[in-house]
Chain A
């Protein structure tokens, strides 16, 4: 009797969760079709621009930093070595870093 009750409970739980809603953009279900339509509607272009625009600016700023002319980021060597490659070199040669 107890076993029947437990099995019935498990069955009910599985049944309750079986009707999962398929709403992903590639799901061929009514909700999925609504999601697809909502993504690829007339606002798709402006939404895409809104998402991409900040990243285009980021890349522009980083390109300016990386490829900029001589400025405060460049100069003459004035201090001791601190790089990990130098530490590795020192370790492999037995010298102190």
Chain B
């Protein structure tokens, strides 16, 4: 007897949490601790208090959205934990986290750094190799996450009580 299993809820939850983790690393480490850039630092250079406060507002909105992604991820993870057909796999979850983090770096990097030019990784340098390093880190994390998820596709088992099929 075998049970239908579905990893999608776990992958979706892990991806959202990975996006949140990536966003918070960007916001906390790059925006606040290292102060390499801010949300609109290419449009509003942080050269005076007013521009600093304006960037603080947009950084806050960015953090609020990142928090929302994390909250949604927790909600999806909670629901996935209640579904017996969803395998509770550490490898799949870690892969999803890496995939989400990479997705954040890639999408945020392409849109904000390269298409809209609202900021760059090291604002004092403008467009620089660090923007490409950021994109590359996204690709590496996506590849790593995808590999972990794919390798786990046969080994992740369902839990007892899952709907069974003959």
Residues of chain A touching chain B, judged by Cβ–Cβ distance below 8 Å, are: 21, 23-25, 31, 34-35, 38-39, 43, 47-48, 50-55, 57-58, 61-62, 65-68, 72-86, 89
Residues of chain B touching chain A, judged by Cβ–Cβ distance below 8 Å, are: 2-9, 11-12, 15-16, 19, 39-40, 43-44, 49-51, 53-54, 57-58, 61-62, 65, 68-69, 72, 76, 81, 84, 87-90, 103-104, 107-108, 111-112, 116, 118, 149-150, 153-160, 162
Contacts of B7 in A (CB 8 A): 73-74
Contacts of A74 in B (CB 8 A): 4-8
Once the chains are docked, how many angstroms separate the CA of A53 from the CA of B114? 14
Give chain A nearest CB distance to B5 CB in angstroms.
5
> Given that A76-B4, A77-B158, A86-B160 are contacting pairs, would A24 and B88 also be in contact in the complex, using a CB cutoff of 8 Å?
no
- A51 contacts B107, C-beta separation under 8 Å: no
Give chain A nearest CB distance to B47 CB in angstroms.
13
- A35 contacts B6, C-beta separation under 8 Å: no
- A81 contacts B160, C-beta separation under 8 Å: yes
B interface secondary structure, majority: helix
- B8 contacts A53, C-beta separation under 8 Å: no
Contacts of B155 in A (CB 8 A): 78-79
- B107 contacts A54, C-beta separation under 8 Å: yes
> Given that A50-B111, A54-B112, A74-B5 are contacting pairs, would A38 and B50 also be in contact in the complex, using a CB cutoff of 8 Å?
yes
Give 8 nearest A-B pairs by CB, closest first: A83-B88, A79-B157, A66-B12, A77-B3, A83-B159, A76-B2, A73-B7, A38-B54
* Smallest CB gap from B62: residue in A: A51
Which one of A58, A73, A83 lies within 8 Å of B6 (CB-CB)?
A73
Contacts of A68 in B (CB 8 A): 8
